[in-house]
Amino acid sequence: MLPAQHPPVKLFAGRSNPALARAVATHANQALGQVKLRNFADGEIYVQYEESIRGTDLFIIQSTCPPAENLMELLLMIDAARRASAERITAVIPYFGYARGDRKDLPRVAIAAKLVANLLTEAGVHRILTMDLHAAQIQGFFDLPVDHLYGRAVIEEHLRTHHDAFLDNLVVVAPDVGASKIARSYAKRLGAGLALIDKRRPEANVAEVMNIIGDVSGKNCLIIDDMVDTAGTLCEGARALHEAGAVEIRAFATHPLLSGPAIDRIEASPISRLTVTDSIPLKRTSERIEVISVAPIIADAIHRIYADESISTLFAE
């Protein structure tokens, strides 16, 4: 339960993921505040808080997954809260969109993640709470506190509770070099081996597997990544692992974007189970996809932020 102290705490939700927002509020033992969110005929977004938020410690829960209106809605909610004299505004962004644009790796491209950070700051946010950023250095794009949670805590508990047999003879697989650090962390905590899929990406959303570094023959393999978009990389990697002699192949991704043919690809791949979190609502269910909730860890982080307590145990790598 959140401590009863001044300033009062209030939780509000945008429309990107209402189910997760309700679950977070339940775990925080709070009711979601009343806010009017609607679209004009031309699609423009209208925001109005329907209760006083003056002097409050305000938390706005909104993933910025596509469409881009979800980001715009969050910006308008922050602006409205600032103009209504909220004491402190924390944007709770379970999935931080545009995080793949974290650097200028080609001529004449935008650094989208920095632009989004600037927009949120200018809108009036005081703090960011997010989970499994595509690039951890995005925290440095903000000149304000950023609390970065990891989905690892929920997947570890889930595996040990429901899939303990799968952990025997386990190898954690990084789908690319960028995921090797987090995969190494999983492997250490699960007492598992580690492997890496060496790939090249000729163009966006297209991956070509080149080599598997590590021994996966006769092993259970768990592919770890922060997000799964079109699932091309994931499924190509799973096929390479299968050809290399892996016994059972599962995958975990915090953010299930699952765009275009992603679910069909997963169902046609050697992946027996893809576990994701509810940071983004699923567009379609599948027998091969299971969803675990990050609401408890987000609610715990909100409690600690409000009470000025350390949350380092929640995001330690």
Q: What is the CATH number of the domain that holds 222?
A: 3.40.50.2020
Residues 47, 122 share a domain? yes
Kindly report the average pLDDT of the chain as a whole number: 93
The helix or strand, by DSSP H or E, that contains position 13, with its residue range, turns out to be strand 9-13
Does residue 251 lie in a domain region?
yes
The helix or strand, by DSSP H or E, that contains position 160, with its residue range, turns out to be helix 152-162
Residues 210, 146 share a domain? no
Considering its fold, how many domains does the chain have in total?
A: 2
pTM listed for this prediction: 0.93
* Helix and strand element counts for the chain (H, E): 9, 14
Specify whether 114 is catalytic: no
Does residue 2 lie in a domain region?
no
Instruction: Give per-residue pLDDT as tens, 28-81.
Output: 999 999 999 999 999 999 999 999 999 999 999 999 999 999 999 999 999 999
| 3-state SS class at 138 | helix
* pLDDT band for position 208 (cuts 50, 70, 90): low
Residues 300, 191 share a domain? no
Q: Name residue, tokens 């995969």.
A: 183
Question: CB–CB of 104/113 below 8 Å?
Answer: no
Q: Name residue, tokens 């770890």.
A: 224
Question: CB–CB of 199/237 below 8 Å?
Answer: yes
Residues 109, 186 share a domain? no
Catalytic residue among 10, 104, 181, 199: 199
* pLDDT band for position 153 (cuts 50, 70, 90): confident
The whole-angstrom separation of Cα 221 and Cα 193 is 9
The helix or strand, by DSSP H or E, that contains position 122, with its residue range, turns out to be helix 112-123
Residues 269, 218 share a domain? yes
Does residue 1 lie in a domain region?
no
Does residue 256 lie in a domain region?
yes
Residues 6+ apart with CB under 8 A from 61: 11, 12, 13, 14, 17, 20, 21, 24, 92, 94, 298
Does residue 261 lie in a domain region?
yes
Instruction: Give per-residue pLDDT as tens, 159-179.
Output: 988 888 899 999 999 998 888
* pLDDT band for position 228 (cuts 50, 70, 90): very high
Instruction: Show the domain range for 163.
Output: 152-292
pLDDT given for residue 58 in this prediction: 98
pLDDT given for residue 119 in this prediction: 98
Residues 211, 138 share a domain? no
Token code pair at residue 157? 């508990």
**274 closest CA partner among 241, 225, 216:** 225
Does residue 3 lie in a domain region?
no
Instruction: Give per-residue pLDDT as tens, 243-279.
Output: 999 999 999 999 999 999 999 999 999 999 999 999 9
Residues 235, 108 share a domain? no
The answer to whether residue 200 scores a pLDDT higher than 80 is: no
Residues 131, 86 share a domain? yes
pLDDT given for residue 198 in this prediction: 86
Residues 133, 21 share a domain? yes
